Amino acid sequence: MPKGKNLWGGRFKGGVDPAFAKFNNSFAFDRRLFEADVRASVAHCNGLVAAGVLTTEEADSIKTGLKAILQRGLAHGKLDEMESEDVHSFVEAQLVELVGDAGRKLHTSRSRNDQVATDLRLWLREAIDELRTQIRLTQAALLDLAEQKRDAVLPGYTHLQRAQPILFAHWCLAYFEMLSRDRERLGETRRRVNVMPLGSAALAGASFPIDREIVARELGFAGVSRNSVDAVSDRDFCVEFVAACSLIMVHLSRLAEEIILYSTTEFGFFQLSDAVATGSSLMPQKKNPDSMELVRGKAGRVFGDALSLLTMLKGLPLAYNKDMQEDKEAIFDAFDTTFSCLEVSALVLRNMELNEKRMREAASRGMMNATELADYLVRKGTPFREAHETVGKVVVRAIESGVELSDLSLDELRSFSNRIESDVFESLTLEQTLATKSRTGGTAPERVAEALAYARASL
């Protein structure tokens, strides 16, 4: 970059080596802060007028200039053709070119250090709002599916071994709950993001009498930072944001894994429609769940973003260091990746067929009613530990005979405990097994119906 074209030329005699300029420049990615930068500049300009630094005429010409720059920049592809050190240099250079001397006054009492921290928070605030909206849409896809398939059942697993049957809707609502917390978590992060660093200047604070509270209000910030050194040098809010994204990705990757697994021939519970699957270039019979595999795989990228932010910040001396320029790509990537994974997950959920017959068969087999038999004995007065032991023996007998518990005759069952009576068979049905899980949070149909209504209201 030739001397004089950047914001800090005065002290320099020689020009910057082009290779270093390319290495140093961030405009290729921080142009995403363009709108935030212009917005914050307008607010800063108003603050300078109130402080008596700018006349209203100067401010008017600056704001007209900024408006024109914004419109030009937003015009399709315009920004992509431009070169600059970073988005802040870009806006200022354009402004000076457009309005001359007044533009040269805008940077009074401001540094790129408080500017970038402010832009980042403005950008992130919006990103959080978009992400929370998308989480809600993905939750709606889960809920719609659950409501449509109220009667479907699924084997519940622990250790990936058949454990106890559950309603399919209960399974959907498990993911709904995770996403509810993710949405809430982002809301809490937003509170800490929504604090304005502007007025901290380079690190020591601003030396002109700008009313920061008024500037903050104009930008929609809930308050102003209390320490200028901290305000320009921490990026904990970025870490929090990416950590919240990471948890969304943890949840989506588990959903992805289950959908992949349940769509195999071996499980055969779900089937993805052609809209969200791909074929093999060699094997004509294949239908692959690439959509969900990518969601599962992309979780790693977002965790990587979190780790790169933490590592970048660790041990940095106060206040601003150029290391921090690395914050942007991490949060942009975490946002883009998480957003698209939420979107695709919703799409998959809306393009999924259930094989309800097979799900019911699977949920009815594998002696998943063994706990029910133990509970039956408890209701007849047997201590649970003893009942567990007894049913264990019944299970061995059933395995040896190659049958389910309910296929054993009453006499055979009574040979293990004479507390067993003919009403036992009623207790061992799938319906009864589900119905007994009737405490809050359980899979009994009446509780799930309530949970569905609650979930609907919470959207």
Catalytic positions, written as ranges: 159, 280
Task: Write the CB contacts of 122 (distance below 8 Å, at least 6 apart in sequence).
Answer: 33, 36, 39, 40, 219
- Contacts of 337 by beta carbon, 8 Å cutoff, 6+ apart: 245, 249, 298, 301, 302, 305
If binding is defined by CB under 6 A, does position 278 make contact with ligand ARG? Answer: no
Q: What is the per-residue DSSP string for 384-431?
A: HHHHHHHHHHHHHHHHHHT--GGGS-HHHHHTT-TT--TTHHHHTSHH
Residue 158, SS3? Answer: strand
| 374 touching ligand ARG, by CB under 6 A | no
**CA 109 to CA 118: how far, in whole Å?**
14
Q: Does 86 bind ligand ARG (CB under 6 A)?
A: yes
User: Would you say 70 or 116 has its CB closer to ligand ARG?
Assistant: 116
Q: How far is the CB of 141 from ligand ARG (least distance, A)?
A: 37
Tell me the closest approach of the beta carbon of residue 235 to ligand ARG, in angstroms.
Answer: 10
By C-alpha distance, which of 65, 105, 107 is closest to 89?
Answer: 107
Whichever of 210 and 324 has its CB closer to ligand ARG, that residue is: 324
Element (H, E) at 159: none
Least Cβ distance, residue 297 to ligand ARG (angstroms):
29
Give phi and psi for 272, each to the nearest 5.
-85, 140
Q: Among residue numbers 162 through 201, which ones bind ligand ARG (CB under 6 A)? A: none
Report the nearest approach of ligand ARG to the CB of residue 87 (Å).
7
Cα–Cα–Cα angle for 247, 336, 231, nearest 5°?
75
Nearer residue to ligand ARG within complex by CB, 305 or 372: 305
β-pairing, 223-224 vs 153-158, is unpaired
Q: Which is nearer to ligand ARG, 118 or 194 (by Cβ)?
A: 118
Shortest gap between Cβ of 203 and ligand ARG (angstroms)?
Answer: 9
Binding mask 102-141 for ligand ARG (x = CB under 6 A): ----------xx--x-------------------------
* 8 A C-beta contact, residue 152 and residue 356: yes
Q: Interface with ligand ARG includes 30 (CB under 6 A)?
A: yes
DSSP state of 455: H
| Residue among 28 and 275 whose Cβ is closer to ligand ARG | 28
| Cβ neighbours of 81 (radius 10 Å) | 6
How many CA atoms, within 13 angstroms, populate the side-chain half-sphere of residue 301? 18
- Which of 367, 391, 368 shows the shortest CA–CA distance to 378? 391
Q: Which of 6, 26, 164, 369 binds ligand ARG (CB under 6 A)?
A: 26
Is there binding between residue 41 and ligand ARG (CB under 6 A)? no
Residues paired with residue 223 on neighbouring β-strands, in sequence order:
195
Contacts with ligand ARG by CB under 6 A: the residue count is 10
The CB-of-120 to ligand ARG minimum distance in angstroms stands at 8
Q: Under rule CB under 6 A, which residues in 307-336 are in contact with ligand ARG?
A: 320, 322, 324-325
Q: Which is nearer to ligand ARG, 232 or 387 (CB)?
A: 232
Nearer to ligand ARG, 245 or 312 (CB): 312
Question: Minimum CB separation from ligand ARG for residue 113, in Å?
Answer: 5
Q: Give the residues lining the site for ligand ARG (CB under 6 A).
A: 26, 30, 86, 112-113, 116, 320, 322, 324-325
